[in-house]
Amino acid sequence: MTDAQIAALVAGAYPGLAARILDSCPSTNTYLKDRADGLSHGYTVLAKTQSAGRGRMGRRFYSPEGTGLYMSVLLRPELELQDLTLITPAAAVAVRRAIKELSGAEAQIKWVNDVLLGGRKVCGILTETAFRGEAACCAILGIGVNVCPPREGFPEELRNVAGAVLREYDPEARWRLAALILRHFFAIYASLPDRGFVEEYRGANTVLGRKVDIISGGVSRPAFVLDIDGDCSLRVRYPDGSEGTVSAGEVSVRERGPKP
C-alpha cells in the first residue's frame, strides 16, 4: 500500500479529515504539536516508526518499524473543561471497538489509558491539551498500538507485559486499524458530553473490585476500587476506611483480594 493509499484510507474515516504519513519521526504527538497552528480539526499524522515515542509519565513507547500503529490526531475541542478529560477514555473505547472489528478479540481497558489483550498491553494513549487563557485551543490525541508482534521480538523489559493485536505479521493491518479507530472515536466524540460510552468503559475495565496502588506525583497510595463514575474517575476506598475520587495519575493493580 502506497503512502497516498494509506492517507486516503485514513482520511475516509471522518468527513474532511486530512492525513499525513511519515516514514519516521521522534514522536507523532510532538510533530503535530509543533505544527498545530493553522491545521484543522481531525488532522492526523501517522509514522511508520518513532525514534522517541512517548507514553504517560514521560515513559518511552517502543515503536518498531513495520508492526505498530503510531498516530496522533489534532482536536479543536468545543467542550467544557470538565469534559476534556473524557477524550482519553473515549479513545480507549474506540480502540477496543476497532480491535474487535479487526480481529474479533475482546480487549479490556486498564484505567485510565491502556488497552489490554490477554492481560498484556497492546495500546497506550496520551492526550496533551494546550490552552489559551482558560480555553482549550487544541488537544492532541496520541495512540500507539502493537498491531503485530515485532519481528525481532519485544525488548527484555517488555516481554512479560506487552502483547500484540494480531499473531501473524500483516503490515497493512495497522492502516486498516487506524481507519477503524478514527471512525469509532469521532462517532463517540460527536456526543462526548452525553457520556454514552462510559458504561462500556466501565464494563471493560480491569480495575473494578481490585486492590490497587494509586500513583500520583511520585507518591503511591493503596486503595480498593469501588466504581468508575460518569467522568471516568475512580471511586476508591482507602485502608483507613475513607473514600475518595481519583481523576488523575495511574494505577498499579495488586493481587485480587476481598473487599476491605
Query: Same domain for 138 and 58?
Result: yes
Share of the chain above pLDDT 70, in %: 93
- What pLDDT, on the 0 to 100 scale, is given for residue 258? 43
- Span 33-58, pLDDT tens digits: 999 998 999 999 999 998 866 655 45
Instruction: Quote the CA–CA distance of 259 and 127 in Å, as a whole number.
Output: 33
Range of the domain at 237: 211-253
How many domains are there within the chain?
2
Write the pLDDT tens digit of every residue in 109-142.
Answer: 999 999 999 999 999 999 999 887 666 789 999 9
Angle, CA 30 vertex, CA 24 and CA 34 arms, to 5°: 110
24: in domain: yes
Which band of pLDDT confidence, cut at 50, 70 and 90, is reported for residue 255? low
Same domain, 148 and 125: yes
Whether residue 43 contacts residue 68, with contact meaning beta carbons closer than 8 Å, is answered with no
Give the 3-state secondary structure of residue 17. coil
| Residue 171 and residue 89 in one domain | yes
Helix (H) or strand (E) holding 21: strand 19-22
- Looking at the structure, do residues 35 and 121 belong to the same domain, yes or no? yes
- Assigned domain for 260 exists: no
User: Structure pTM?
Assistant: 0.92
Residue 31 lies in a domain: yes
Q: Where are the beta strands (DSSP E) in 48-186?
A: 68-75, 108-110, 114-117, 120-132, 135-146
